[in-house]
Amino acid sequence: MSFELSKEQLMIQKMARDFARKELAPLAAERDEKHLYPADSLKKMGELGLLGMLVSEKYGGEDMGTVSYALALSEIAAACASTAVIMSVHNSICCGSIEKFGTEEQKQEFLVPMTAGEIIGAFALTEPEAGSDAQAIECSAAKQGDHYLINGTKRFITSGKNGGVTILLARTKPEGSDAITAFLITPDMPGFKVDKVEDKMGQCASDTVDLVFTDCKVPVSRVLGEEGKGFTVAMSGLDAGRIGIASLSLGLAQAAMDEAVKYAKQRKQFGQPIANFQGLQWMLADMAIDIEAARLLVLNAAAMKDRGENCTMAASMAKCFASEMANRVTGHAVQIHGGYGYIKEYPVERFYRDARILTIYEGTNQIQRHVIARELLKKGK
């Protein structure tokens, strides 16, 4: 087995790292504190090809592959987790779903400007009474001639306020496997409203909102895929989405460990750097082991996807382990900083807050374990 990255992958990784350190890192703390959406940075990311990494060149994308995407997303996350989650949802679920299921007209209308960073994508599945149980959504879409009337509320939608297009899942039948349909929603549609903006623990520069639909009139031409195939649309993007969050987790943890190592070498107690103490060295060693294990899980899932293999189990493993790893590593980083880790002057405080959501969104880790067990039991047949 070869774990060596290609020259192209290394070049993409370096490009993303240079951009993240120069453009994102200096602004990350202020954006977090003031809840400033990184619109200017996202535009630059579009120009660099970071917002169409998995899209074919026909629609303005770079078609770089999932491994390159995971490498780039990790570098963005190391500088700003808020920007990274916007990038993940946009690339993994939104662009991927539109390219796979959209009509040619939909791809030209949405995918081309999305890859350029002119509009950002959002994905609206979660509702007040439907999260992990995706089949329980109540948002309805009633067909009336050449349009649908959509009614309902979506909750915790990343980029819901600033997104130029939202993939919405709504119920077009009371029940059945074909009861859900996907729609492409734009902010100019009558009956569409951005409601509550959440005041979050972390990743504060990304907007997370409620979307309310009141007789929202959506043309039939905005159905993504076919009526009744919405659940297929939703599930198809989850593997890439989970690899995205795993990559985000990896980058955030790496940044936390780098800060911990730097601080441990500088901070002195009892007349010597605290890096000399065995107890702290073992914490750093555990962090490094965790990060390397997560890195291999992430790159394995990404490589499987690039080869066209079924990567559902691998993606869930990577997301589950990497997100929990990031929580452990950022916690250790705060501990190594001592009291300084608890104040905003040091970035590990932000890293710690940013990490907490990783085990929750893109499918809770309880759901990931369900997916892993289900796939494992299939193999036993």
If residue 195 lies in a helix (H) or strand (E), which one and from where to where?
strand 192-197
User: Per residue in 54-84, is it b (16+ CB within 10 Å) or e — as a string?
Assistant: bbeeebbbbebbbbbbbbbbbbbbbbbbbbb
- How is residue 14 written in tokens? 């370096």
Please write the tens of the pLDDT for every residue from 286-300: 999 999 999 999 999
The better pLDDT of the pair 179, 177 is held by 179
Q: Alpha-carbon distance 290 to 104, whole Å?
A: 44
Confidence of residue 171 (pLDDT cuts 50, 70, 90): very high
Q: What is the mean pLDDT of residues 62-73?
A: 96
On whether residue 305 sits in a domain, the answer given is: yes
Domain co-membership, 251 together with 179: no
For β-strands 147-158 and 165-171, DSSP reports them as unpaired
Q: Alpha-carbon distance 342 to 78, whole Å?
A: 19
Residue 98 in contact with residue 107, Cβ under 8 Å?
yes
List the CATH number of the domain containing 184. 2.40.110.10
Confidence of residue 237 (pLDDT cuts 50, 70, 90): confident
Domain ends where: 230, 245, 263? 230
Q: Alpha-carbon distance 325 to 135, whole Å?
A: 30
Q: Considering only CA atoms, which of 102, 98, 103 is closest in space to residue 51?
A: 98
Domain co-membership, 209 together with 258: no
User: Does the structure show a pLDDT above 90 at 1?
Assistant: no
Domain co-membership, 294 together with 368: yes
User: Does the structure show a pLDDT above 90 at 256?
Assistant: yes
**CA distances for 300 relative to 10, 13, 113, 252, angstroms:** 16, 17, 31, 19
Tell me what pLDDT residue 236 has. 87
Domain ends where: 189, 209, 230? 230
Q: Considering only CA atoms, which of 21, 96, 14 is closest in space to residue 51?
A: 96
Residues 6+ apart with CB under 8 A from 35: 199, 204, 205, 207
Q: What is the mean pLDDT of residues 362-370?
A: 96
Q: Alpha-carbon distance 76 to 203, whole Å?
A: 13
Burial class (CB in 10 A: 0-12, 13-18, 19+), 92: buried
User: Does the structure show a pLDDT above 80 at 3?
Assistant: no
Domain co-membership, 137 together with 15: no
The whole-model pTM stands at 0.96
Tell me what pLDDT residue 290 has. 98
Domain ends where: 170, 202, 230? 230
List the CATH number of the domain containing 291. 1.20.140.10
**DSSP labels, 204-250:** TTS-EEEEEEEEEEEEGGGEESSTT-HHHHHHHTHHHHHHHHHHHHH
Q: What positions carry a catalytic annotation?
A: 362
Domain co-membership, 264 together with 212: no
Residue 236 in contact with residue 169, Cβ under 8 Å?
no
Q: Alpha-carbon distance 175 to 70, whole Å?
A: 37
Domain co-membership, 128 together with 216: yes
Q: What is the mean pLDDT of residues 25-30?
A: 98
**DSSP labels, 83-129:** HHHHHHIIIIIIIHHHHHH--HHHIIIIIHHHHTTSS-EEEE--BTT
Domain count, the chain: 3
On whether residue 272 sits in a domain, the answer given is: yes
Tell me what pLDDT residue 132 has. 86
Domain co-membership, 368 together with 250: yes
Q: What share of the chain is helix, strand, coil (3-state, %, to 5)?
A: 60, 15, 25
DSSP character for 3? Answer: -
- Tell me what percent of the residues of the chain surpass a pLDDT of 70: 99
Q: Considering only CA atoms, which of 70, 74, 110, 116 is closest in space to residue 94?
A: 110
User: Does the structure show a pLDDT above 80 at 207?
Assistant: yes
For β-strands 180-185 and 223-224, DSSP reports them as antiparallel
On whether residue 107 sits in a domain, the answer given is: yes
Domain co-membership, 269 together with 203: no
Domain co-membership, 374 together with 241: yes
Q: What is the mean pLDDT of residues 66-75?
A: 98
Return the residue matching tokens 């009336």. 144
The better pLDDT of the pair 344, 380 is held by 344
Q: What is the mean pLDDT of the chain?
A: 96
**Range of the structural domain that residue 335 is part of:** 237-379
